[in-house]
Every structure is written in structure tokens, then in C-alpha cells.
Chain A
């Protein structure tokens, strides 16, 4: 509106009208409700039905949860405090939380698994967040040995002697690489095997007698609770990704022998239920080992879980590889990159990015599958819940334990899922 008619024409408004409020039904909460919950007859019915279900669930569980007892010494005391009213008895958690978290790990050493977990996050940080300096990866590489020593203890020279095997492999590779790459690869495989088979034991013993260093040894049967789930889950997750990548590449390979081995391994392991592999680990292996050999049960389970997850991982990554246009492979060839360089610089970054949801899916599934070890008698949180119920103080308690265990698992699985969404956003390069 210009000034032109301001003084000349009486019936023309000379100031702006204040904008009026939008109609009630088009603004604020009402609009949101109308659009999202009551946008049609069917949606209205569904909304009302959902509200009803939520109401019933809350009415059933809410009072029970709110009226909970946290300080009784036994279920009978809980019932006495509740005095006939319905209420949860979370006293079992205050009484036994340390067992659900650490199993029978000696209480004076609880700082060790806690420190191991804290260091784990420190070791994972450079892998998860690219903003951090790459030098931190050295700590990541050393972490498995630190973690092992913190958890199991014993002589510090045992993890050192194992680690030296990898150092030997690396040195062999560097030295022989000047001669030929193929020989260097063989050297890198053979050197650690020879070191472990012949020298590592002697080195461990000699050094232990010269300089006995180390934390107190904690036997595997003291491990339990969420600690065991985390050990199996994290070892499985961190080992299955590289093994899965190798299996996927092997399956794509042109070398017939390599390809058939990978296909057989993947198909065989995927065709067998995890529980069968676990039974094999706990029961069958002992028939084959010489009598008197103690082959740690947790280690056996980790191996089986890793194999199982690797087979799935391989197929997830193969999906990512298959989704890449052929042009990407050809472009890598055209640039004159050799196989490994092409994989490292061009193929894998794209294939892995495509596979992120599938990979994290497998990780979460693997982590939750660790509760299956209850069937071979390892006392994971579920196994411990049985043991806790067998205590006469807590016989008859049920949901409280499961709620606590579910909350623990939820924290970790939800964390993984959030990280994967962050990663997808960060790696997003398309312009949709």
C-alpha cells in the first residue's frame, strides 16, 4: 500500500491491520493433534484404541512400579512392607546388583573391569570419531592386551608374550617386503605362529621368574553377569567385522579355491543355529582335546560367537559390495590401483557405508544373543537371575530381575543404534 491515496481517498485504510490469530483449529497443539492423531475416521479410531491400550498398561504396571520397595532384605520382608498392596520388590537389585553386573568377580577387584570398560571407550574413541588424532590408534591396538590383563590378571608377561607374536609378524613383513610381497605375507603369518608355538611359553616363564609382575589372577568361573555379556559381545563385535570383511571379499574373489572355502564356511555357519555352536563349544570340544587340557570356556564361546557373527557380517558386507556400481571397480582399475589399494581406497569405504544399518543390526543381534550362553551354564545376567531366585531370600521374585537386565541391555543397544544413525548422517554424501 503506497502513500498515494492516504490523504485523498477517505475510504482507503491508511495503516496496516494487525495480523489476526490463525483459526483455532489451524494452530498449536490443536493443529498438531488434528493432523497427527485425528486426521480421519480410521486414524481417530486407532488413536483412541492406542490410548486405551496405553491406559490399561499404565494402570496395570504404574502403581506396581511406583509402589516399589528398595530396602528390604528378602522377598518376605518386601511383602511385609507392602502389606498386601501390589508393588515391585526392587530390593533384590540393591541386594544383588553387584552379582548381576560382575558375577562372582572378587569385590576388592571390581575396579579392574570398571577400568577396563573405561579404557575400552578410550580405545574405541579414535575408531568411532574421526576428529580425534590418529596417534590414539596405537592405544586401540594395545588395548586388547591391557583389557585381558585387567580382567584376568596373572603374570603381565603372558599378554606381552602374545603381543610380541604380532610384533614378530610385523617385523617379518617389513624385513621380507624388500624381497617380495608374497614371501613377506607368508613370513608375517609364520613368524607369530613359530613364536607362539615355541618361544612364547619359555619367554613368559623366564620373564615371570626374573620379574614377577602382574595383577592377581581371576579365574574364568568367577566371571559372570553383565561382565560376561560385555566380554563376549565386544570381542565378538570387534573380531567379526574384520573377519566378515575378509570372508565377503573371499566370496567375491576369482580364485576358485579361496572362494569355495569362504562360501562353505559362510553357508555352513549360517546354516547352524548359534545354540548348536555353543553346545559344541561347551560339550563336544572336550571329546577332541586330550584329557586334562583346560581350554577356557569363555574363550571357546567367544570363538564360536565370533564365527557365527562373522558369517552374517560377511553376507551384510557382500550386500554392500553388490550395491556398488560396476563402474567403481573399473574406475579403480583404470587408476592403476592394485587389489588391496582399490579395496581400501575406493570399494570398502563405499560398501561399508551402504552396509552400516545392516552391520549395526548384526552387532545388536550378536550382543543380545550373548544371553544364549545361559543354556551352556555360563552365569550371564539371565543365568544369575536363576541363581538369585534359588536363594531362599529371593525365591519367587520374577519381573524385577528381568526389568533390570532389560534396562542394562537397552542402554547398550540403544547407544549402538544412535551411533549408527550419527555415522550415517556424517557419511552422507548424496544430495537428496
Chain B
């Protein structure tokens, strides 16, 4: 590592980039021995370092599963904190291998920014929070309100669209971070705080008197959040995509970190066998080995376990599964078949 710091820079500057040949992302990661994951600079429940500097959270858990699948070590993952402004450039320039930080899948980001959204690990939507004193029970009554809004995010655009469609006016109070937004909102600088419902719920849980605030029933946007990779390396895209599907399928098939060892010995369900690499040789098709999915599940549990341990209703964040339940439970999670 350390030699690359100085001498690497020097040789790069001296000899130019001529000697570098194009490596695939997977080769780069295997050479390096670690996965570099673009993460949030700190969002409660989704990704933040704890008191010991170990990254924890829902998105972080996905990266650890990916690390376990590719490198056989969930701790061989380096987390690079990225702001909403730097995240896409960092991914495009190769600073990070994968981006897993509450990023909404939109047309422009997918097509114009040359990125590939491999799936959705959390279905979110934008909502509004108001104080109960305001006496508002629907977002349609918010005409003329001052609204605290985080800049540089899709929520800013959704807000404008929603108020225009409903012929209402609003006065934006631009803020930079969730903490600032909470502060402004609590200080009364704005009547309404709008952001993704999951973030509203975790903010409200942190207030001194949560009951004095209400989250309005309207959800004004679709915010499918998911991991992102660069365009053009489909093998790596497939690995990230199917690691996500493996976690989701594991929940659907009843594979948990508790019964994983037992099921790895072989079961009556051929799909579980294919998922866990007992038959089918699916891992080798990805360029990994056949136990990749089993390792990912062993690292963080299946989708449901990961959700429950980081953001679920037993945690202080307290999010219900809602849209993020399996399709069999009335949610939107639907992994393609392992066949």
C-alpha cells in the first residue's frame, strides 16, 4: 500500500499511463484483495461508522455480503464516504467499485450518467412531516408553506413537480444535511420537512417529543434505492445484481444464517441447492466459486435478517417492511428465479 502512495504516483507521472492494461473490475478487486464500496457519509440505519469506526447499516451490510461473496471475507471491504455531490463521479472515475448509499434509480442517472442500477434494495418514497399544531392532515393543504428541503437530491425536484401539479405554491428553505434540516424544522424555520419517508421516520424517532409531529399520508414519489455500478463491465454488474437477488431469494426460500449450514449439505428443494451451490455450478458462471451466495448469506443473513437487524421495527429506526416485503407477502421484492 504505502509504496503505491508515493512511488506509484511518481512512476505514474514519469512513465504515463502506457503500461496499464484494461482490467475487469473483478480482477482489480481480486488483485487488490479488498472491495471498495461507496457509502453514505452517515445516515442512521443505512450506513455510518459506529463508536469503534466499524461501518454498520443496511447498505453497508449489502457491501459486506458482496465482500463475502467475492473475497470470502465480509471485512475485506473499505468504505469510502461519499456525499450526494461526489457519489457518481467517484463511481465513474473508479474510486469505488460499487455504490451502495441510498441512491434513487432514475432514467437520467441510469442512461445519461453511464451507470447501471442493478436492482432495488429499498423501496422508498418521499413524504412530508409537519408539527401536529399546524393542524394539517393532508399534503394538499400545504399551499403557501415553507418547506425544508435537502439540495442536490431527487426530493427537491419531486417537491417542485408535486406542488406544480396541484397548483400550490411553497417557499423552499434549502438545507445541506439531514441534521441541519431537523434543526431548522425544530426551530420553526420551516413548517414542513420533506425527504424520504424512511429518513422522516428515523428523524422523528430522534426528536424529544415524537408525538408532536405527524408524517402526512401522501407519498409523492417513487424512490427505488439500490446499488449502482459503472456501465460497461457486465460481469461485475451481474455479480452485484445476483448477490442482491441471492439475499432476497434466500428470504423467500426460507434460507437464514441459522439454517444455512444444514441446508448447504443439500435439501429437497432444487432451487435452494442451486442458490447455495450444491448443484448447478452457478457461481462459476459468474466467475466466482459455487459457494458465493452461501457466504454472502452467512455474512449478513438473508434480506429479511439484514433489514431486521439494521432498520427493522425492533431497531430505533423502526421501519415496517411495507413495500419492502416479499412479493408473496404483498410487497415488491421479487428475485428472478435461480435457474
Contacts and interface: CB of A to CB of B under 8 A. Distances in A.
Q: Is chain B found bound to chain A in the same assembly? A: yes
Interface of A: 75, 79, 95-96, 99, 103-104, 152, 154-155, 158, 162, 196-197, 200-201, 204, 217, 219-222, 279, 282-284, 286-296, 299, 374-379, 383, 385-392, 395-396, 398
A290 B5 contact: no
A66 to B, nearest CB: 19
B111 interface: no
Contacts of B17: 288-290
Contact of A291 (B1, B22, B207): B22
B230 to A, nearest CB: 11
Contacts of B129: none
Closest 5 CB pairs of A and B: A104-B53, A290-B20, A390-B42, A390-B48, A396-B206
A283 B9 contact: no
Given A95-B51, A386-B177, A283 B7 contact: no
A423 B177 CA distance: 42
A66 B117 CA distance: 51
A294 B7 contact: no
B83 A287 contact: no
Contacts of A392: 44-45, 202, 205-206, 315-317
A103 B53 contact: yes
Interface string B45-57: 1011111110000
Interface string B22-51: 110000100110000000111111011111
B337 to A, nearest CB: 35
Interface string B188-227: 0000000000000011011110000000000000000000
Contacts, number: 154
Contact of A377 (B7, B32, B82): B82
B107 interface: no
Contacts of B51: 95-96, 99, 391
Interface in B308-322: 315-317
B20 A292 contact: yes
A299 B187 CA distance: 40
A299 to B, nearest CB: 6
Interface in B44-93: 44-45, 47-53, 78-83, 85-86, 89-90, 93
B331 interface: no
Classify the secondary structure of A's interface with B: helix
Contacts of A75: 206
Given A95-B51, A158-B3, A386-B179, A294 B90 contact: no
B269 interface: no
Nearest to B180: A398
B86 A387 contact: no
B94 interface: yes
B53 A290 contact: no
B78 A377 contact: no
Nearest to A295: B9
Given A154-B2, A197-B11, A197-B14, A283 B206 contact: no
B11 A398 contact: no
Nearest to A220: B5
Contacts of B178: 389
7 contacts: A204-B3, A217-B1, A286-B93, A294-B8, A383-B81, A390-B42, A396-B208
Contacts of B22: 291
Contact of A293 (B2, B8, B85, B89): B8
A377 B3 contact: no
A246 B202 CA distance: 54
B261 interface: no
A288 B79 CA distance: 23
Contact of B43 (A95, A162, A293, A390): A390
